[in-house]
Structure 1
Amino acid sequence: MSDKWDESVWDQEDEDEQEDLAPSHEQLFFLIDASPGMLQPCGLAGSEEFEGKSWLEAAIQVAASIMRQKVIASSGDKVAVMLYGTREKSAAYGGMESTWVLQELEEPGADGIQALEAFRLSKFESQIGSASPAAAGRALLSAFWLAKIIIGKAAKTSKQATRRILLFTRNQEPLKVYQKGLDFSSEWKQLKGHINSLRDAHVALELYPMVAPGEAFEVQPFWRAVLLELRGQSDADYEELDEGTQVARIQDLVTLVRSKAHRRRAVGSFRWQLGGGLEVAVKLFQMLQPQRPAAMLKVHGENNAEVKAVLTGWIDRYTGEIMDATGATQAQAAPAAEGEQAAEGQQAAEGQQAAEREQAADGTQGKAAAAAAAAAPVQPPELRRYYPKPERNKVCRYPKVYVTPEEVRQIKGAGEGGMTLLGFKPLSCLKQHHQVRNCSFLYPDERSLPGSATAFIALHTAMGPDTMAVCRLAANRAREPRLVALLPQDEAVNEDGWQVQPPGFNVVYLPFSDDIRAPETDAGFAGPARHAASEEQVAAAEALVLGMKLGEDFHPALIQNPVLQRHYTVLEAKAAGDEPPPVEEAVEQDQTLPYWGENEEEVEALAAAFHEACGLGSDASPAKATKRKAEAPPVDEDALAALDIEGRAAKGTLGKCTNDQLKSWLRAKGLKLTGNKAELVARVQLHLGVAA
């Protein structure tokens, strides 16, 4: 099986959890080397986030960024941040030599994030310090020992969690694997024992060499041996080790670590029936999910304890009383309970008399029993619902059809779950408007059924890029069946050899005939007559389209949701005890608003020409819709003068200014604040009349 089809890239659950596909919590352990080599400037040219920082500060900033993302996307996950190779030791977890715990294993919170963001190299050197380079081996032993202790304690309370160690270092060989010849050193034997304990706990290790682009980092002999030992492989099996998933480079550290910090979890596992009794085990992954703010919780006004509903039930719409399973209110059920014991004797006597009369009846026993059953009061075993549900202020056209919850489950039942291949069609038959929801991704599940990957790869290769497979999909019996189209997707790698697009099938959900609407055939929608555009109008539209083309750097996946970002910005500020930033600042940073820069006047002219050619509305040119500007905050002249933007512009050193400094100067001059750093610098130079 090819490395590009390595299932470990997608299957992030423990091997023992084959049946449980519910997303489990994750525990991240940041092990950051604090030796003297990590105190050097990182030297990542062109990286604004790491500008002027050391390697140690860059690694801690990445940890803080991941914790901030976990608060938003994975509230149940836990994170621990530990330094090793330190001169001093922290008191946490018994005080291990040469280790310092910055963040204990817990759910990320405002205090922990603020503590990491406030980390400064000067404070570290004065209060904690780095150990001697000669003690690097002992420091690494203490780090793995500490990780083993923390993971052992965590495993007792959360057995289903997945655990990973993210190790940041510049030291290529902190200790010797071999002492003399092929004899293992004593330090390696101790480290090997810790690694074996981590392997038994199903802990994964990912190595992040803190080296600049172009700088070499030798993974072997030491780190290669560590990775192999943690995976339980021998040196002869090294070719099967996918270093790309365990050793990461530093070109884009934050983006790279964020992509690995959010695990891909399967949302379904089932068999794909190919016909003739042939089936393949596959897993379904959700690649795109709308991100929404978490639901608001209710808390007690005095102690802020979460208030939860402890009583649920059916309410009588007329009296507001709580009803039981039979539909009776508590007031109705109380007398019945009191008289239940007294009525037992009477019911027994009546039952005996009825039995005697039935036996004495000649040829009328069946009719008498049926009449008695019809006359007896019906006690519904549970509340019922009915279809169709009438709309408000409208009379239902059909009589009410009452159903019980069990009947509802039978109605929704769609037969067997899984996916069945119906056949193949040209990809040209699939139109863009056929996609009724977000696509999913299909990948083979080799663990569940050996040989599935081979059949999957063969079918994927044979289909080619111009063919799609049409299938019936029902992930389980509770899901209604859907028609889906499977589109082959080939592997894609970047210039550094990193996989940016995995191979597999994109699952496109197709509409049924019941879902298709054709409003263009309705005369009330399209109008009684169709109007043809003149050549002049088409030419004006073409000019507008060409003039408003977005650049190659524009992509929706790179634009943040302004409402969501504002929501979490306010929450973070309140959690930290700070004042939330003004709304005007959020509007300025809203990347969904149109911004054409120097081409704004040209775009307006093209829009006006198109408006005139089509004769939209009145003959008068439309008034330009201007956004109401908020009142500018007072300008601190002293702080503005201290920035010396004019002097830096004359020297050509504006690139050393931060975005906040440039925006402060632009805000004082009443200029726009949108765009990246290069655009901000260009706007300052244009205003000052300085050549770029």
Structure 2
Amino acid sequence: MDFDDYGWTALAIDGDEESDEAAKGASYTQQTGVMFVVDCGPPMFVKHEDESSHFEKCLKCIRQICQKKVITNEKDMLAVVFYGVNKSSVPDGKAIYVYQDLAQLNIQRITDLESLLEDPNSFVSEYGYSDNYDISEVLWACSNTFAKSNKSFGEKKILLFTCDDNPHKGNEALKKKAIAKATDLKSMNIDLELLALNVRDEKATFNMDLFYKDLLFLGDENSLASYPDPSEKFEDLLSTVYRKEHKRRALGRIPFKIGNNIEFSVGVYCLCRKAVIPPSVKIHSATNSEVRSQSRVFNAATGEDVMPQDIKSYQQYANKRICFDTEEATDYKKFNISGLKLKGFIKKAEVKLHLHVKPSHFIYPDESVVKGSSTLFSALLSRCAARDMVAVCHYVPRTNSNLELVYLLPQLEEKDEANNQVTPPGFHVVFCPFKEDMRDLSAVDHSASANTDQVEKCKALIEKLSFPYQTSMFENPSLQKFYSNLEAMALSKDEPEEVTDYTAPNTRKIEKKAGAELEAFSKSVFSESTKRPAPASSTAAAKKAKVDNTSIDIKQLALTDGLGKLTVADLKGFLKSENIKSKSTKKADIIQDIKSHYGV
């Protein structure tokens, strides 16, 4: 099992996990530079069964990436380059046109891409086509664009879209020039990625061996073996671009110790975190300039400001305040240096994975710190998976983090039919509870039970309504609606894109698929001898317990300022019973009318 480059880093996070102490202190300030390079040859404009061309699919993909980055990584810099056109904006470069230079995204750049999508034919008439291009010059133009930028990039990528698997057919000199330039890009830490589209020819498919194998992999057969198949559908192309463009960032790199003598290095990643609507930025209503809030700590007795060095904290123990300063509080949490320490192994069947205290992390070998980490990690992963064993570890994410007890759940690599990685190889770090975290449910009434007939009918219902679940099937409708409206306002659209709530049950489909089983189960549970629970009332007033006004001393409540404890409905009932007229429906006004009635 080779861990050198599995291309699985799309599962890493784009920043720190807010709720996790392990993420505190991590800072990623460097920008990412991405250049989208699109082949504009005649095959890219051929209409297919879905009435769209490869060129349109590429532009849709780029536009969608740009829209996503406006929300998630607006400081990243992107560029769009067309080659194989009858125009040139690059000195000494033929048929190469930089449509959008390397810069941060703005509304105008996205609008320009949408304009091209609305009328692709106008692109052909304006830019034309030329087969007099050189891939090495295309790559040189991209590297030169990166070199001219005064930004310090954490990552530099060139994403090349094409359906031509042999652009320099019969010309070995141009092929060698392109390979030499690709080697230069690698030495400059610029990643070159190919987004291959299916060749629309019944007798041929996209053949990596003809040209791009030598250009991209430079003799690395392992990388070629894990390369995805050419895309045909837009969804496949978009998912491939997301995977290749996504940043590879770890929460941290920590040592993994087995006993006293064995130590290797792993990177810690976050596979799952809650996606939330970003907080709004407050601005001045008159000038639209950003405003900032300031807080201060002061002495409640004197009102004087208190400096940070004068502040202490306390914990109460047996009615006594135990005071300590910030440094002491930090020292109390320190157990050891950060890292994983193996305690032992247990059978996977004995692990209760439903008992976890927060979302899991994911670990992957890190060769940059300790050479040979991949070999040790691979051996441990293979044997744990083969024997259905789970490692139990002592885990300190960072020096000032709390100690955690974790399970290491093994996961082997899986790929789909298109050779795309579905799951990466590694260990899920499951945070298990300590003894103090558990709650006793012995007081819960477990006397109710189902008979055999009810169990069988429920089993039939479950079988009918079972479906293959995947997390990717369900988008958060609240988030999607928010971003759809935000995008519509930013791009001055007449209407936001409609958002479908896939989490809502399709009752019509459920009734069609399992109507008979639902009815049978319902009759079995709610038989004639069993009273079916009445449906809850939808009105708020019906949910509240009714109060008998005759048992309440309204006058006493008025004298003691206790009328606020009653509901508006109770107060109105009293007004009606005493024939007291009130001109308002507000609670405060009704209370004042009652007080006036009693002369309070």
Q: Return the TM-score normalized by structure 1.
A: 0.67
Match of 1:418 in 2: 339
* Residue in structure 1 matching 2:246, options 242, 250, 262: 262
8 Å contact kept, 2:195–2:241: no
Structure 2 unpaired stretches of 5+: 13-24, 539-600
Q: Corresponding residue for 2:554?
A: none
What is the alpha-carbon distance in structure 1 between the residues aligned to residue 239 and residue 460 of structure 2? 38
CA distance in 2, matches of 1:9, 1:577: 38
Q: Spell out the pairing of 1:607-622 with structure 2 (5 A cutoff).
A: 607=518, 610-615=521-526, 619=531
Cα distance between partner residues in 1 of 2:27 and 2:224: 27
Which residue of structure 2 aligns with residue 244 of structure 1?
226
Q: 1:542 aligns with which of 456, 459, 468?
A: 459
Per-residue CA deviation, residues 438-465 of structure 1 (Å, 9 max, x unaligned), is: 2222221123211222222222222324
1:158: which partner in 2? Answer: 152
For 2:266, the equivalent position in structure 1 comes to 282
Q: Offset of 1:279 from its aligned partner? A: 0.9
Question: Please, which of 310, 315, 318 is the counterpart of residue 387 of structure 1?
Answer: 315
1:440 alignment partner, one of 351, 361, 374: 361
3-state SS in 2 of match to 1:472: strand
One-letter identity of the residue aligned with 1:67: C
Tell me how far apart the structure 1 counterparts of residues 106 and 530 of structure 2 sit (CA, whole Å): 57
Q: Within 2, Cα distance between the matches of 1:202 and 1:443?
A: 22
Alignment of 1:636-647 (within 5 A): none
Amino acid in structure 2 at the alignment position of 1:571:
L
Aligned to 1:306: 290
Matching residue's letter, 1:498: N
Query: Which string of whole-angstrom CA distances, capped at 9 and with x for unpartnered residues, describes residues 348-374 of structure 1?
Result: xxxxxxxxxxxxxxxxxxxxxxxxxxx
Residues 219-618 of structure 1: matches in 2 within 5 Å? 219-228=208-217, 233=218, 237-242=219-224, 244-245=226-227, 249-250=231-232, 252-309=236-293, 313-317=296-300, 322-325=305-308, 381-388=309-316, 398-463=319-384, 464-519=386-441, 521-522=442-443, 526-527=444-445, 530-547=447-464, 549-552=465-468, 554-581=469-496, 586=499, 589-600=500-511, 607=518, 610-615=521-526
8 A Cα contact 1:272 1:281, kept in partner: yes
Counterpart AA for 2:267: K
Q: Provide closer, same or farther for how the CA distance between residues 196 and 453 of structure 1 changes in structure 2, counting only shifts above 3 A.
A: closer
| CA offsets 1:152-174 (integer angstroms, 9 cap, x no match) | 133x3224x21111101122233
Contact 2:43–2:163 at 8 Å: present in 1 too? Answer: yes
**Number of the residue aligned with 2:563:** none
Contact 2:85 2:97 in 1 (8 A): yes
The number of residues matched between the two structures is 517
Residue 681 of structure 1: aligned partner: none
Partner of 1:336: none
Report SS of the residue matched to 2:133.
helix
Structure 1 contact 417–477 (Cα < 8 Å) conserved: yes
SS in 1 for 2:209: coil
Q: For residue 182 of structure 1, what is the aligned residue in structure 2?
A: none
Partner Cα separation in structure 1 for residue 156 and residue 409 of structure 2: 33
Q: CA deviation at 1:469?
A: 0.9
Distance 1:550 1:115 in 2: 46
Q: Who is 2:61 aligned against?
A: 62
Normalised by the size of structure 2, how large is the TM-score? Answer: 0.77
Q: Which moved more, 1:438-447 or 1:465-474?
A: 438-447
CA offsets, 1:276-334, max 9 Å, x none? 4111111112111221122211123344333335x554244467664434xxxxxxxxx
Paired residue secondary structure (1:124): helix
Match of 1:210 in 2: 197
For residues 386-442 of structure 1, what are the alpha-carbon distances to aligned partners after superposition, in whole Å with 9 as ceiling and x for unaligned? 224xxxxxxx95222222111111122222211111111111110132232222222
Distance (Å, rounded) in 1 between the aligned partners of 2:228 and 2:96: 24
- Aligned-partner Cα distance in 2 for 1:465–1:537: 38
Q: Which has the higher contact order (CA 8 A, sep 6+)?
A: 2
After TM superposition, the structure 1 = structure 2 runs for residues 73-84 of structure 1, keeping only pairs within 5 Å, are 73-84=72-83
Residue deviations 1:546-600 (CA, integer Å, cap 9, x gap): 44x1333x43431100000011011111112235549xx64xx211111043442
In terms of fraction of residues, the more helix-rich structure is 1
What residue identity is the alignment partner of 2:120?
L
Q: Which amino acid aligns with 1:420?
A: K
Alpha-carbon distance, 1:613 to partner: 4.0
Structure 1 outlier segments of 4+, above 6 Å: none
Would you say the 8 A contact 1:208–1:250 is kept in 2? Answer: no
1-side partners of 2:165 and 2:454: how far apart?
67
Matched residue of 2:289: which SS? coil
> For each residue in 1:121-146, what CA deviation from the matched residue of structure 2 results, as whole angstroms up to 9, or x when unmatched?
21101222222x2x032xx3442232
Structure 1 CA distance, aligned partners of 2:191 and 2:180?
16
C-alpha deviation, 1:621, in angstroms: 7.7
2:489 partner SS: helix
Shift of the 467–602 alpha-carbon distance from structure 1 to 2, 3 Å rule, reads: closer
Q: Is the 8 A contact 1:207 1:246 kept in 2?
A: no
**Counterpart of 1:52 in structure 2: which amino acid?**
E
Cα 1:69–1:248 shift into 2, 3 Å: farther
What is residue 9 of structure 1 aligned with on the other side? Answer: 7
**Aligned residue identity for 2:415:** V
Indicate how the Cα distance of structure 1 residues 602 and 280 shifts in structure 2: closer, same or farther if over 3 A, else same: closer
Secondary structure of 2:251's counterpart equals strand
How far apart in 1 are the matches of 2:532 and 2:179? 81
1:148 aligned to 131, 139, 143, which one?
143
* 2:65 partner letter: I
Deviation readout 1:237-272 (Å, 9 max, x if unpaired): 443544534875445212222232323422121111
Alignment partner of 1:102 is 2:92: no
How far apart, in 2, do the equivalents of 1:499 and 1:266 lie?
Answer: 19
In the TM superposition, residue 605 of structure 1 has moved relative to its aligned partner by 6.4
* Distance in 2 between residues matched to 1:467 and 1:599, nearest whole Å: 39
Name the residue aligned to 1:118: 115
Which of 617-626 and 203-212 deviates more?
A: 617-626
Contact 1:313 1:324 in 2 (8 A): no
> Quick check: which has more Rg, 1 or 2?
1
Q: Secondary structure at the match of 1:432?
A: coil
| Pairwise CA distance, 1:273 | 0.8
Instruction: Provide the secondary structure at the position in 2 that maps to 1:293.
Output: coil
1:173 corresponds, among 156, 166, 169, to: 166
Match in the other structure for 1:669: none
In 2, Cα distance between equivalents of 1:620 and 1:459: 55
- 1:62-96 deviation per Cα after TM superposition (whole angstroms, max 9, x unaligned): 11121222233333322222111111245xx7796
